Structures are given as C-alpha cells and as structure tokens.
C-alpha cells in the first residue's frame, strides 16, 4: 500500500483529530465543501433544466425545424407549397428527423358579443403529433382531425379564451379575408384550451383542421403552407437543421426553432453563462477554504513533519501525505453536499414547490434536470482541481527542517 495514502488516512480517521484545535477548521472546510457542492448542483440542474424546458416548449409547439416556401416573408399567412415532397412523410436523408407534419396558417379575427381578438388559425392534418401537444392542454382535448371530413373543432389558448370569455364547448365566429378582399366567416367550436406560457403563441395561435385554410385559400388537398419537423434530441436541433437545409429543394427554406425565436434563444444562453460563473465562484470558495485547512494542518503538525523527514521521508512524499489528508477531509463534505443537494432537487422535481412568473421565464415551475454523469464529473473535478491547487501551499513543507521542526513549540 502507498505509504502517503495509508498514513494520511490514518491521521485523518484517527481519534486524535477529533479533540485538537484543528477540528474546528476542518469542520469549516467540510461545510464550505458541502455548500459549494449544494449550490453547484442546484445551479447546474435548474439552469440546464430551464434551458431544456424553454427550448422544448418552443420546439414542441412550433416544430423543431420548419420548412416553407422560399418566397415566404414574415406574414402570418402561409404561402402555398406542394405536399408532394421527397422528405414527406418520412425524411429518410436525415435520420435524426423522427416526424414530419404539414401545416398552414391563416390570420383572422374572432368576434364575440363582448369583445374581439386577432388570431392566427394554424391548420393541422391527420399527421399532426397531437400527443406532443397534450403537454400544453389545460382543459378539454385536441380536435379529432379526419382525412375525409372537415371538423369545426378548435383549440384556443387560455389567454384568448379568457379575454373572449370562451370555454370548452363554447362556439364563436371568426372572420377571414380572402385574396379577393371579400370577408368570409366560419363558426368554430372550442374543444380544448392550451397554455404554453410563451407570449408569441398564447397571444394569437389557434389550432384546427387544415382543410379550413385550404378551403379559404382555394387550395386543393395536396397544397399546404409548410412543414414542421421533429428531431430525436432538442439539443441537436442546429445540427439537424444544417443537414435538412442540404437535403431540400432550392426553392424551399428551412429554419430551426432556436433561429426563429432568436431573442428567446439569446436569453436562454444566459443560463449557461450563469452556470459557469456560479460554479467557478463556488469552486474558488472551496479551494480557498481547503488551502486554509491545509496550511493550518501543516503548522499544527510541524513536529510530525520533522520526524518524518528525520526518518528519511522526502519533501514530495510528505507533501503528498498532506494533500491526501486534505482530500480525506473533503469527502464528508462531498457526501453531505450531494445528499442534501440531490434531496432538494428531487423534492422540487416531484413536488414542484418553487414557482416562477411565466411572463418572465416562459415556464411556471422551476425545472430540474438530473444528469448523473454531470454530477459525477462535478465531484471528481472538484477533487482533482483541489488536489492540484493544494500543491502550492504544500510547498512550505520543503522549508521545514527536521532539527527546527522537532524543537518546534
């Protein structure tokens, strides 16, 4: 067995360490390690969780990647596009794309006896992934879209429904303007109410049968407004979007969800910066405390250092001994920090105690994402970095001579 490791474990676990003056400093160091791990775990898990949750909401509601006609502008109304594409219904050239669905948008005005609201009718077909949308539903169900018949059932956002005093099973009239400038109205039935917490969607988007948009635009059943693509992992959207762009005709344009909502995406990147800053600060606090602990331990055990050198121990062996000693002291703090930190995160994950203002954060509950690989890396990284940094203060051991150390009082 390595002498330095064995001896450091002996003095770290020995009874004599529990009654001397250094025990207070050791406890302070362990508390600092525990707090550093707790804050780092909470910061990483909630920061990454928030980033993933907001990204998923943006992408799941509006598609991870959208494809539309290259001539399309920022108009709320879709331009015509043929349904007969090589990538529909399966995008074989890009394996990461797991689902493709056709959509078409048409703007209009909902009018009730007391109020009115401008909305965008998002038409969807039988290929629409309604299971993915169920995460946004707060009441009712998603309309059952059939291939051969047209349904008047729609889903409204909670914000629009509240403003117009509509509820599930209510009906309303919506006005559209055709290209010939003639107004057309349609009566719809509310079958579901959703809430995404994202203003861009909740303020204007209503979902229903795509055949209404095709009929209003005088399109046939093989004409749509665009396509929404979904990939396996929301974190791989940009990579998949680049591959999609290379495998579609020149007259089509593809855009990722993160590019479509660049302002929100830029805001999301703040989470990554905050995570790095907080983890670095916590690591710095831990390192400072462990350096103080090591220096005090060296001063307290000056005579022991002198005896070890007198018996032939090299400076490096004694330095390694004290670094190992400091790492042993870290372990209780690491264990306590992980237990408390993971406990708090699991409580939040399953009981959703901490709420957030959705108008500011796009999510109503502080999300938690637990990745045990990241947790292990955080702990191992803390130990390795502390061990490397402790090499510097341990250098003072080289300055201690056996003759002076043995007579040290």
Domain boundaries, the chain: 3-57+265-406, 71-249
Q: What angle do CA 402, 407, 408 make, to 5 degrees?
A: 95
The pLDDT, as a whole number, for residue 18 is 47
The pLDDT, as a whole number, for residue 130 is 92
Torsion sign over Cα 71, 75, 80, 84: positive
323-to-30, 291, 304, 316 alpha-carbon distances in Å: 15, 10, 15, 10
Which of helix, strand or coil describes residue 300? Answer: helix
The pLDDT, as a whole number, for residue 25 is 79
217: closest CA among 326, 291, 108? 108
Residue 277 tokens, joined: 């800053």
State the Cα–Cα distance between residues 231 and 234, nearest whole angstrom. Answer: 7
The pLDDT, as a whole number, for residue 58 is 86
271-to-194, 335, 371 alpha-carbon distances in Å: 27, 26, 17
pLDDT in tens, 196-209: 999 889 999 999 99
The pLDDT, as a whole number, for residue 407 is 60
Q: Which helix (H) or strand (E) holds 285?
A: helix 262-300
Any residues with CB less than 8 A from the CB of 95 and at least 6 apart, and which?
Answer: none
State the Cα–Cα distance between residues 34 and 28, nearest whole angstrom. Answer: 10
Contact 348, 366 (CB under 8 A): yes
DSSP 365: B
Residue 212 tokens, joined: 């209404």
Residue 61: half-sphere exposure toward Cβ, Cα within 13 Å:
26
Contact 190, 168 (CB under 8 A): yes
State the Cα–Cα distance between residues 107 and 120, nearest whole angstrom. Answer: 4
Residue 351 tokens, joined: 């009981």
Query: Can you list the pairs that 315-321 forms with residues at least 24 positions away whose Cβ atoms lie under 8 Å?
Result: 315/397, 315/398, 317/3, 317/4, 318/4, 318/397, 319/391, 319/394, 319/395, 319/397, 319/398, 320/4, 321/3, 321/4, 321/7, 321/8
Any residues with CB less than 8 A from the CB of 311 and at least 6 apart, and which?
Answer: none
State the Cα–Cα distance between residues 268 and 259, nearest whole angstrom. Answer: 12
Contact 278, 40 (CB under 8 A): yes
- Percent of the chain exceeding pLDDT 90 equals 56
The pLDDT, as a whole number, for residue 182 is 79
The pLDDT, as a whole number, for residue 406 is 59
Collect the ranges in the chain with pLDDT lower than 50.
Answer: 17-19
State the Cα–Cα distance between residues 351 and 402, nearest whole angstrom. Answer: 60
pTM (predicted TM-score) = 0.82
The pLDDT, as a whole number, for residue 264 is 82
C-alpha gyration radius of the chain: 31
State the Cα–Cα distance between residues 277 and 184, nearest whole angstrom. Answer: 56
Residue 279 tokens, joined: 């983890």
The pLDDT, as a whole number, for residue 201 is 93
């Amino acid at each position: 067995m390595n002498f330095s490791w064995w001896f450091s474990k002996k003095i770290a676990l020995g009874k004599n360490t529990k009654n001397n003056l250094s025990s207070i400093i050791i406890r302070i160091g362990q508390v600092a390690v525990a707090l550093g791990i707790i804050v780092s775990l909470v910061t990483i898990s909630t920061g990454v969780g928030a980033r993933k949750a907001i990204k998923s909401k943006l992408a799941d509601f509006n598609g991870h990647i959208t494809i539309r006609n290259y001539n399309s502008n920022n108009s709320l109304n879709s331009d015509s596009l043929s349904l007969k594409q090589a990538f529909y219904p399966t995008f074989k050239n890009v394996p990461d794309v797991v689902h493709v669905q056709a959509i078409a948008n048409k703007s209009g005005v909902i009018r009730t006896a007391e109020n009115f609201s401008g909305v965008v009718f998002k038409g969807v077909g039988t290929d629409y992934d309604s299971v993915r949308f169920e995460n946004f539903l707060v009441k009712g169900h998603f309309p059952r879209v059939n291939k051969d018949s047209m349904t008047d059932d729609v889903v409204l956002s909670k914000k629009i429904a509240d403003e117009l005093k509509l509820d599930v099973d209510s009906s309303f009239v919506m006005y559209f303007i055709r290209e010939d400038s003639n107004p057309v109205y349609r009566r719809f039935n509310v079958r579901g109410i959703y809430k995404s917490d994202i203003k861009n969607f909740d303020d204007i988007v209503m979902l229903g049968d795509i055949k209404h948009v095709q009929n209003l635009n005088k399109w046939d059943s093989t004409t749509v407004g665009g396509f929404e693509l979904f990939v396996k992992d929301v974190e791989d959207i940009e990579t998949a979007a680049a591959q999609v762009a290379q495998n579609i005709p020149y007259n089509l344009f593809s855009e990722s969800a993160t590019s479509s909502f660049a302002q929100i995406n830029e805001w999301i990147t703040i989470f990554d910066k905050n995570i790095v800053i907080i983890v670095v600060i916590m690591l710095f606090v831990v390192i400072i405390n462990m350096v103080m602990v090591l220096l005090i331990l060296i001063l307290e055990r000056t005579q022991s250092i002198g005896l070890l050198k007198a018996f032939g121990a090299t400076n490096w062996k004694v330095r390694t001994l004290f670094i190992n000693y400091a790492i042993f002291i870290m372990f209780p703090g690491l264990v306590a920090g992980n237990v408390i930190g993971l406990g708090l995160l699991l409580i939040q994950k399953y009981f959703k105690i901490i709420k957030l203002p959705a108008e500011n954060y796009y999510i109503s509950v502080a999300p938690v994402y637990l990745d045990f690989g990241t947790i292990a890396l955080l702990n191992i990284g803390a130990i390795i970095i502390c061990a490397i940094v402790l090499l510097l203060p341990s250098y003072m051991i080289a300055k201690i001579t056996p003759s002076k150390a043995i007579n040290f009082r």
